[in-house]
A = this chain, B = another copy of it.
Amino acid sequence: MEEMADARDPIEELITSFNELNSSTIEELDEEPSPLEFMRFVARNTPFVIRNGAKDWVATKTWSAQYLQEALKGHHVNVAVTPFGNADAPTVHSDGAHAGGEHVFAKPHEEDQPFENFIDYLTNQELDPSFSGSEVRYAQTQNDNLRHEYVSLFAQTLKSIPFARIALQKEPDAINMWIGNSRSVTALHRDNYENIYVQIAGQKHFVLLPPLCQPCINEQELRPASYVRRGDQLVLDMEDGDSVPFATWDPDRPEANSTKYSALVSPMRVTLDPGDMLYLPAMWYHKVSQSCSPEGVCIAVNYWYDMDFSGPLYPLTSFVRSMNGRIA
């Protein structure tokens, strides 16, 4: 047995056997699952998309750039500002004096902006070839903002997703609004949440990897840095805090920053159109990019439900992480 066990790298075996038993094409439903049907997906920790699952939401029907500008007239919202659309992303620090050439974890510059200006910026940057602004703006606070900053719009969505609320027996921990344009990309990462992601306007393009692909994503300890405005420029300032373990492999540039396991992964790709709902299971890696509606925005909301840490999945996923790099 020892001999057999040594014959093949156990991590390679893990990923290939997962691939053999699971499709890398997402399951598509054309109507809401029942709570039981949903629970079957939770049990398998397997994504699905409900095409047109939120087609009848008031939000899906009414949230245009113009409508939102009316609705939030006079409001200020928190905006993540970066030079390249790289909020919370591994980024090569270009300043030789500090961390030149080093991959750091780049946090956005955050500032409050009048909502109307924010939307104008997004849409002009997207649609007007002569637009001169180069920085990238994204409303993406991930702090339950739909029930706080954007609370006046909340009633046009749902308080909770019925099949998820009934199956998981809990209310969402956070409901987040995401407003950006095609310049923003959310880097590959994972969250300890069951996630129901609802596209309202424009498209989101998800690349998904299962939790056991941790050995493929080249996690590195990255020192934290934040963008700050210095004159006309956004520059990265190193921070003192603890370094952040973060994926440095990008499934869209598979040759760069790869590990010996990266080539084994079969990314699952899905594009959400307005009204589509994605179930993104807890601990799946996701990279998200976006395309705009004809009026030049991309709008989504998502529901985060605390994952269940009991059962074997969470400790086994941590185990894969701690074994990675220790294979003889």
Contact = CB atoms under 8 A, between A and B. Distances in A.
Question: How many copies altogether?
Answer: 2
Interface in A1-21: 1-2, 5-6, 10-11, 13-14, 17-18, 21
A97 interface: no
A184 to B, nearest CB: 28
Interface stretch (A226-234, A287-295, A318-326): A318-326
A274 interface: no
Between A211, A212, A312, A318, the greatest number of chain B beta carbons within 10 A of the residue's beta carbon is seen for A312
**DSSP majority for the A interface?**
helix
Contact of A312 (B210, B219, B308): B210
A13 B322 contact: yes
B323 A323 contact: yes
A318 B245 contact: no
A308 B43 contact: yes
Given A1-B245, A35-B36, A221-B1, A45 B311 contact: yes
5 contacts: A2-B325, A14-B316, A212-B315, A313-B316, A326-B328
A132 interface: no
Contacts of A2: 325
Contacts of A1: 219, 221, 245
Contacts of A328: 326, 328
Contact of A17 (B169, B219, B318, B326): B318
B14 A311 contact: no
B42 A318 contact: no
Given A1-B221, A5-B322, A10-B319, A212 B312 contact: yes
Nearest to A20: B315
Given A39-B43, A326-B10, A319 B320 contact: yes
Contacts of A22: 310-311
Contacts of A323: 10, 319, 323
Interface in A273-327: 308-323, 325-327
A39 to B, nearest CB: 4
A164 B317 CA distance: 27
Given A10-B323, A42-B43, A319-B10, A312 B313 contact: yes
Contacts of A40: 39, 167, 169
A328 to B, nearest CB: 6
Contacts of A260: none
B21 A309 contact: yes
Contacts of A310: 21-22, 44, 46
Contact of A322 (B10, B39, B167, B318): B10
A326 B325 contact: no
